[in-house]
Structure 1
Amino acid sequence: MERDLKAATGKREARKQDRRLAIMAIARRMFLENGYAATSMSAIAAELGGSKATLWNYFPSKEELFDAVLDDATAAYRQQLTDLLRPTPDLGATVLAFTRSFIAKITSRDAVQLHRLVAAEAARSPEVGLIFSRVPQRTRQLLAEFFAAAMAAGQLRQADPADAANVVTYLCMVLQQRVLWGGAAPTAAEIEAGAATATEVFLRAYAPERSHSA
């Protein structure tokens, strides 16, 4: 009896999760195609084939749904960073691996499309910009924790880890700006060169301070 109850509960949870993913898939497509302001919860519910009340049971507001869509879109990348940003004796190799992956991520078609959507919508829907700002904040938090450990180990000079995270991410945005303004997507060679430059500049700026003998 208990086993049957657990099995039934598990099936219900699986159905709820499937429904939630279906909602986010529809919402993501509609946000990208129509924009945030022009996408309504009613339209999402209609395409889903359920009532608006059912949709609200999963997401009480459009803002929460948009936040969930962004979180889901970046979850795999955050896990990749969590696996990558671990204490290591070869700090340079890890920073290079990060800059390479980050440049590839922010210049990808999906990321550029989403960035343009937010830029177009933020003026009339300020909540869009506020929600979107949480995405880079999550990445920078992971970086800041990694840099704090590197500073404690003497691999980087003592500084504000959050500032260090901001610096390295800004250094990676050169190619992104080109793509956002309609330029060609970077080649693998351009990503590698951009990553190498960003890494070198960052490591020089945050190199451990040498002790001076008296």
Structure 2
Amino acid sequence: MKESRRADRRIQIEAAALAVLVEKGYAGTSMLEVAKRAKASNETLYRWYGEKNGLFAAIVKRNASAGLDQLQKALVDDGPLDEKLARFGASLLKGALSDSAIELNRAAMADPSGKLGASIAKHGRNTVVPMLTSLLKAQRSFGAFTDASDAAEAFIFLLIGDRQARRAIGQLPEPDMATCQTHARIATNRFLSLFGAKSPVPA
């Protein structure tokens, strides 16, 4: 199978998995049901994802991928920190507030096993925060913080706040990229103000 065709099939399978998850919850979702819904073979799902948790981990990774890509670029880029944070923040926020991310979080809250929540944490926040911490540590001339990890957590809080919770209870619509860029610039300015930087990003 060509790589482009494989990528398309993965998107179709993962969309089917989310649909089953919404209907049946994490415990009630089976690889067989997802395979039927996606019109794929059960063998293909196990070959590509390993098992159910691997399938949903792939969806979590896809949601976080744009933000992680921006962080990877920021780690090797010599540009200003404010621009790096604003680009990263917009990409991360778009993924974190997407319909698929919200459905995953809703299902995780209803999953007594905690497996889905653990996967979301592992491939989401627990991957993002250490990378952001590394970026802040590399900014030797920046900031009034003594702990880059605490500073990274502060930026995530300023960026996302209670937006995921409000999305989960139906009080916020899914934002477009322009809205995410605006929120990311505001969060960046507040973060830089809190930690003593002097280069605000136009909101």
**TM-score past 0.5 threshold:** yes
SS at match of 1:30: helix
- Tell me what 1:3 maps to: none
Mean alpha-carbon deviation: is it higher for 21-30 or for 136-145? Answer: 21-30
Q: Give the share of equivalent positions with the same residue, in percent.
A: 25
What is the TM-score of this pair, normalised by structure 1?
A: 0.70
Q: Once the two structures are superposed, what CA deviation does each residue of 1:140-171 show, in whole Å capped at 9, x if it has no partner? A: 23211211111xx3122453322221110011
1:107 to 2:97 alignment: yes
Alignment of 1:1-214 (within 5 A): 14=3, 17=6, 21=10, 23-49=13-39, 52-84=42-74, 86-88=76-78, 90-121=80-111, 124-134=112-122, 135-150=124-139, 153-157=140-144, 159-174=146-161, 176=163, 177-185=165-173, 194-207=183-196
Q: Once the two structures are superposed, what CA deviation does each residue of 1:84-139 show, in whole Å capped at 9, x if it has no partner? A: 55544532233233334433443333333332222222xx1211110010212222
Mean alpha-carbon deviation: is it higher for 83-92 or for 130-139? Answer: 83-92
Decide whether aligned partners of structure 1 residues 66 and 189 sit closer, same or farther in structure 2, where only a CA change above 3 A counts: closer
Q: Matches of 1:194 and 1:76 in 2, distance apart?
A: 16
Judge conservation of contact 1:118–1:129 (CA < 8 Å) in 2. Answer: yes
The AA in structure 2 aligned to 1:45 is A
The AA in structure 2 aligned to 1:206 is F
Judge conservation of contact 1:31–1:39 (CA < 8 Å) in 2. Answer: yes
What is the TM-score of this pair, normalised by structure 2?
A: 0.73
Cα distance, 1:68 vs structure 2: 2.1
Mean alpha-carbon deviation: is it higher for 31-40 or for 47-56? Answer: 47-56
Consecutive unaligned residues of structure 2, counting only runs of 5 or more, are 198-203
SS at match of 1:195: helix
CA RMSD across the alignment: 3.4
Consecutive unaligned residues of structure 1, counting only runs of 5 or more, are 1-10, 209-214
Q: Matches of 1:56 and 1:179 in 2, distance apart?
A: 32
Q: Matches of 2:62 and 2:79 in 1, distance apart?
A: 32
Judge conservation of contact 1:87–1:149 (CA < 8 Å) in 2. Answer: no
Q: Which has the larger radius of gyration?
A: 1
Cα distance, 1:63 vs structure 2: 1.5
